[in-house]
A and B are shown apart, each in its own frame.
Chain A
Amino acid sequence: MGARGGPDQARVRGGDAMTKMTYREAIREGLREALSGDPRVFLMGEDVGRYGGSFKVTYGLLEEFGPERVRDTPLSESTFVGAGIGAALGGMRPIVEIMTVNFSLLALDQILNNAATLRHMSGGQLGVPLVVRMATGGGRQLAAQHSHSLEGWFAHIPGIKIVAPATPADAKGLLLAALREPDPVFIFEHATLYAVEGEVDDGAAPVAIGKAAVRRTGESVTLITYGGSLGKTLQAADQLAVEGIDAEVIDLRSLRPLDSAMVLASVAKTHRAVVVDEGWRMCSFAAEVSAQIMEGGFYDLDAPVARVCSAEVPMPYAKHMEDAALPQAATIVQAVHDMLGAHG
């Protein structure tokens, strides 16, 4: 647990123009806009204040908005998430940072039995307008306890929404959208994305939750992924293009609700689907996407849906072992080759 390198200088922001900034800066912009725009908004989490955020996302916000609205918490995940729920019941718009999804396991009771359940169980009386941000995923040699991908667990729960921004623009757009939701929204930020740069439209409206995006159009196979795996999937698509295989790449952006219509429309065109997901294969989020394709697009399929997931092992520390465990561009290309038959 710890940040890399010094804080990145905030880019000079033009008027309504596009600005090139990193994923973490885009989130910081979103947080700054939210804090200055709505007095009900406040941040809570471990080391979000003086330390500037373990991934440097909340750097500078304590100085700008003060300790009342940027609150470092004790290492009490269950209680500061529960307090976030309570404050949301009390009329606030809290943004809770759980440093990484690995520590969210300590707060799962509050998330499942309170955040996701209170509205339904109270007959509609209680709403929980809460945003929770979590870093997620492997690939940084942090070994088994710090490399989990559990989107499948959270997306299983009715009553909450799950988003996984893959680009700086979505990192800001989905955060702003989440803040307008009357129900809890969990934002999964892949830890390898924080330093990735991209264009962000300063005046952009919040991104609609529940809408996927086509990052690359293609005819012969649909590659479906989200969050930290988008880069590898686009790399695989480029390699396939060299071999004359034209792959369409869909970035789901939102896992619950899932944009099944967009996925099925693409499969109806390409008749083949590969789902890329860093979760472990069994009961992964990819399993749900595959099931929905089978249920909704059965007669469009020319081949069984393929899934490229992490090896079913606790994440090893050694680089070559971790790389072997995680989905890679090469394994995605191989999955497409297997699907199309030897001569591709």
Chain B
Amino acid sequence: MPILTADMSAGTLVTWRKKVGDAVKRGDIIAEVETDKGLIDVEVFTGGTIERILVQPGAMVPTGAVLAIIREEAGILPAPPPTISSPPTPAPAAAGRATQAPPQIPTAPGRQRISPLARKLASDLGIDLATLSGTGPGGVIRREDIEHAAAARMDAAPKEQRPSLDRSARFRQAIGAAMARSKREVPHYYLSTTIDMQPALAWLAEENLKQSVTDRLLYGVLLIKAVALGLREVPELNSVWRGAEAVPSPAIHVGVAISLRGGGLVAPALHDTDRRSLTELMQSFSDLVRRARSGGLRSSELSDPTITVTSLGEQGVESVFGIIYPPQVAIVGFGKIVQRPWSVGGEVVSRSVITATLSADHRVSDGHRGGLFLASVDRLLQDPARL
């Protein structure tokens, strides 16, 4: 099958113009072939007689396939079919060089080579860059270098002081240092309110009866969702410090405080808390708890929260005023659900209630705005079906 067009790889034999036994000479048309460009004549380049036809009309065969055998006349010996040495496949380096970007200009001495992403993450996690060396090409500091430093910092707070500390003790020490700095530097103000949980708990019990046990919800998820939706009304509480400026973050990622067995606390983020259903939040929350306790959290989950919620109800504490986690600007606390006398429609009854608190950074919001926030959380919890 001859190559008849620029990009032909196969052809369909349509008709034979010669039959077995016919004599042919150079230049005769012996067949017609259908190609991508249409019907084209097939020319023969040697004289002789057709001995055998191998491909029947209608068959599609790749270029180079033998269509027929021609016994050449003794006299004319055609030039041996030229053997072609295939062009060298271009050495990637050589071919690539012509298309390469200009070489990196060496940075001025003292100027650290660090990716913008790594620089941002380092400032978020409070990692000191001076001591770091990068694993990227040419010693560039990259994201994973910051993550390793953050993880290492978790493991090894200042080593030289107490080399023999076990992991959780060192970890408590690192959290303590961050808390101390936050307490010193951030002008906290504190608000608290008591919220009637009766409608929420009644709705929850009913919901859980309808669900299978694997989809069962905890009341904590309702609290978290109420906080997230409340932030939509007071967005400055959902700000994060970027350098010298508190920037309201467009997304709401509520960090959920999870206590680790044997002491220690982490507050990984439930991403886009306000936009996810209670069931989704429950599954993510359960997953976070499991991974927090098995040390499987990702550094982004640690650095992404835009606010934190802490709950000590299970430990029997009625109200907890948290310390803000930098670079966040607020922390919400929930205590134990207790029975309290509560006036409903002028009549005093016993109701399940909870104390909700807000500790917030006075540079970014004031008590009036904090109060509005707690009021909206309270209002949201009174209509649990719409959470």
Residues of A within 8 A of B (CB): 260-261, 264-265, 268-269, 292, 295-301
Kindly specify which of B58-66, B109-117, B262-270, B320-328 makes contact with the partner chain.
B109-117
Give B contacts to A, CB under 8 Å. Answer: 101-105, 107-108, 111-116, 140
Q: Chain A residues with Cβ under 8 A from B104's Cβ? A: 295-299
CA distance A265 to B107 in the complex (A): 9
Which 6 pairs, one residue from A and one from B, show the smallest C-beta to C-beta distance? A295-B101, A264-B105, A299-B113, A296-B102, A260-B102, A296-B105
Bound-complex Cα distance A260 to B103 (A): 10
Contact of B107 among A268, A292, A295 (CB under 8 A): A268
Q: How distant is the Cα of A295 from the Cα of B116 in the complex, in angstroms?
A: 14
Q: How far is the CA of A296 from the CA of B113 in the complex (A)?
A: 12
CB-defined contacts of A269 to chain B, threshold 8 Å: 108
A295 to B99, CA, bound (A): 13
Inter-chain contact A301/B116, CB cutoff 8 Å: yes
Partner of B140, one of A297, A299, A301: A299
CB <8 Å contact, B101 and A268:
no
Q: Which residue of A lies closest to B116 (CB)?
A: A301
* A264, A295, A299 — most chain B CB neighbours (10 Å): A299
A58 to B161 Cα, complex, angstroms:
83
Contacts of A261 in B (CB 8 A): 105
A297 to chain B: which residues have CB within 8 Å? 104-105
Q: Is the CB of B102 within 8 A of A300?
A: no
- Asked if residues A292 and B113 are in contact (CB atoms below 8 Å), the reply is no
A260 to B101, CA, bound (A): 11
- CB<8 Å pairs between A and B, sample of 10: A260-B102, A261-B105, A264-B102, A269-B108, A295-B104, A296-B102, A296-B104, A298-B104, A300-B105, A300-B108
Instruction: Indicate if the CB atoms of A268 and B105 lie closer than 8 Å.
Output: yes
Q: Tell whether, in the assembled complex, residue A300 and residue B116 are in contact, meaning their CB atoms are under 8 Å apart.
A: no
Other-chain contact of A300, B101, B103, B111 (Cβ < 8 Å) = B111
Select one of B101, B114, B115, B140 contacting A296, CB under 8 A: B101
| B residues less than 8 Å from A300 (CB atoms) | 105, 107-108, 111
Which of B105, B113, B114, B140 is in CB contact (< 8 Å) with A265? B105
User: A328 CB to closest chain B CB, in angstroms?
Assistant: 29
Instruction: Give bound CA distance, A295 to B102, whole Å.
Output: 7
What chain B residues lie within 8 Å of A260 (beta carbons)? 102
Nearest neighbor of A301 in chain B, beta-carbon distance? B116
A292 CB contacts on chain B under 8 angstroms: 101-102
Q: Which residue of B is nearest A158, CB measured?
A: B98
State the CA gap A140–B366 with chains docked (Å). 56
Contacts of B107 in A (CB 8 A): 268, 299-300
**Apart from A292-B101, A298-B115, A300-B105, what are 13 other A-B pairs with CB-CB below 8 Å?**
A260-B102, A261-B105, A269-B108, A295-B102, A295-B104, A296-B101, A296-B105, A297-B104, A299-B111, A299-B115, A299-B140, A300-B107, A300-B108
User: What is the CA–CA distance of A268 and B102 in the complex, to the nearest angstrom?
Assistant: 15
Closest to A342 in B: B245
List A contacts of B101 (CB < 8 A). 292, 295-296
- Which residues of the partner chain B approach A296 to less than 8 Å between Cβ atoms? 101-105
